[in-house]
Amino acid sequence: MTPARARFDFIGLILSGSCLVHCLLLPVAVLTAPALAVWLGETETTVHWTLFFVALGVSGWALLTGYRRHGAMLVIAVGAVGLAVMAVAAAHLFGSAAEAVLTVSGASIVALAHVVNLRLTVAGRGSILR
């Protein structure tokens, strides 16, 4: 595996981790600095959609590139489910209360897809996940 291919999986993992940290620390930041709440409330949707599209691009590239090497469609499916959950969260389809839970769940699923993708890409062809 070339370093460039692995780099996108690592970036995907970093983005997923950043998403988790953001969701877990944002409520603390709002509680400790109420003035931030107004600004964060105004920019929240734009920021979430921007981060979602960055995650979509990075994850799409990394997972598709890995798929071409190992052929395990399950990795693509898991990543797509995680990204879909993140899109539902960003769209507030279940309200703001469910947003953090959905975002953390989606980011965790995407991170799992990146870990499996990295392992299968290193292992090469002949995966049991085909």
Please spell the DSSP secondary structure of 23-79, one letter per residue.
Answer: HHHHHHHHHH-HHHHHHHHHHHHHHHHHHHHHHHHHHHHHHHHHHHHH--HHHHHHH
* Interatomic CA distance for residues 24 and 39, integer angstroms: 18
What is residue 126's predicted lDDT score, i.e. its pLDDT?
46
Q: What is the pLDDT of residues 54-86, one digit of tens each?
A: 889 889 988 998 898 889 999 999 999 999 999
Query: Between 23 and 101, where is the model more confident?
Result: 101
| C-alpha atoms less than 13 angstroms from C-alpha of 54 in its C-beta half-sphere | 15
Q: Is there a contact between 76 and 64 (Cβ–Cβ < 8 Å)?
A: yes
Q: What is the pTM of this model?
A: 0.74
